[in-house]
Amino acid sequence: MREMTIPESGSKRKLLDAAEQLFAEKGFEAVSVRDITQLAKTNVASVNYHFGSRDGLLALVMMRYMTPVTEERLARIDSLERKWSGKSAPLEEIIDALVRPLVGQVRKSELAERLFYKLTGRICAEQGDGLPPQIEDQFRQTGERFSRAFAKALPTVPPEELAWRIHFVIGAMIHMLTHQEILHRVSGGVSGAPTMEATMSRFIRFAAAGLREGTATEEPVKKGPQATFDF
């Protein structure tokens, strides 16, 4: 007796692995099903057999990466709100809860580290065009939770202003993930290659400073409309 009632062939996993590697390297549009099946050493028809279509495979690759990220993000923000019940959590911890799950999933993946970051960055950057509705739902959910947390941590920033600052933070985050190779040549530090932990720490300090710009002596403002970002 197998543990799965649905027959699982090796091809399905091979295709997913090959696809995510190629998507990370060249982008979603630049990879054909023939590229994928060639790397996976399967037949061209296998993609359509296992996933229905190329888009079906693409959606599954995205889901396999973003779902645990979203879950960890929501779990961390839950944990923060429990820990700081009533009061607002420190800004740095909120940003940490937003970014760390993105880079924390790398160890659970067989993909090379830099490719993992590229892939997650590409997913976040896609946005609105051809994202699967499940991914969009995750982004919307994440966006609402973190927007509220940011608003609570920065009560003196007007909602409209805060929305733009969060927008800038997201842009910086995506760029950090997708284009790190630009800086990892230069940023060698004292001992070899810099860790992602160090980069993330830099990012959190940068984002926190930008988010709380000029909030030293102002008064709280009342609530306003809310935006959805591509987290």
What minimum distance in Å lies between the beta carbon of 46 and DNA?
5
User: For tokens 């842009």, what's the residue?
Assistant: 171
Is 32 among the residues that bind a second copy (CB under 8 A)? no
Per this entry, what is the length of the chain?
A: 231
Among 33, 69, 123, 207, binds DNA (CB under 7 A): 33
Q: What is d(CA 124, CA 178) in angstroms, rounded to the nearest whole number? A: 10
- Residue 87 interacts, among a second copy, DNA, none and using kind-specific CB cut-offs from 5 to 8 Å, with none
Is 170 among the residues that bind a second copy (CB under 8 A)? yes
> Is residue 188 classed as helix, strand or coil in its secondary structure?
coil
What minimum distance in Å lies between the beta carbon of 167 and a second copy?
6
- Residue 203 interacts, among a second copy, DNA, none and using kind-specific CB cut-offs from 5 to 8 Å, with a second copy
Is 117 among the residues that bind a second copy (CB under 8 A)? no
Q: Would you state the structure tokens that stand for residue 163, as one six-digit string?
A: 């929305």
Q: What is d(CA 82, CA 77) in angstroms, rounded to the nearest whole number? A: 9
HSE on the CB side for 57, CA within 13 Å?
31
Judged by beta carbon, residue 81 or residue 126, the one nearer a second copy is: 126
| Contacting residues for 59 by C-beta, under 8 A, at least 6 apart | 132, 134, 135
- Residue 212 interacts, among DNA, a second copy, none and using kind-specific CB cut-offs from 5 to 8 Å, with a second copy
Q: Which of 174, 76, 92, 80 is nearest to 125 (CA)?
A: 174
103 close to 117: Cβ distance less than 8 angstroms: yes
Judged by beta carbon, residue 83 or residue 179, the one nearer a second copy is: 179
Q: What is d(CA 195, CA 179) in angstroms, rounded to the nearest whole number? A: 15
Is 8 among the residues that bind DNA (CB under 7 A)? yes
- State the residues that interact with a second copy by CB under 8 A: 29-30, 127-128, 160-161, 163-165, 167-176, 179, 182-183, 185-189, 194, 199, 202-203, 205-214, 225-230
Which residues form the interface with DNA (CB under 7 A)?
A: 1-2, 6-11, 31-35, 42-50, 53-55
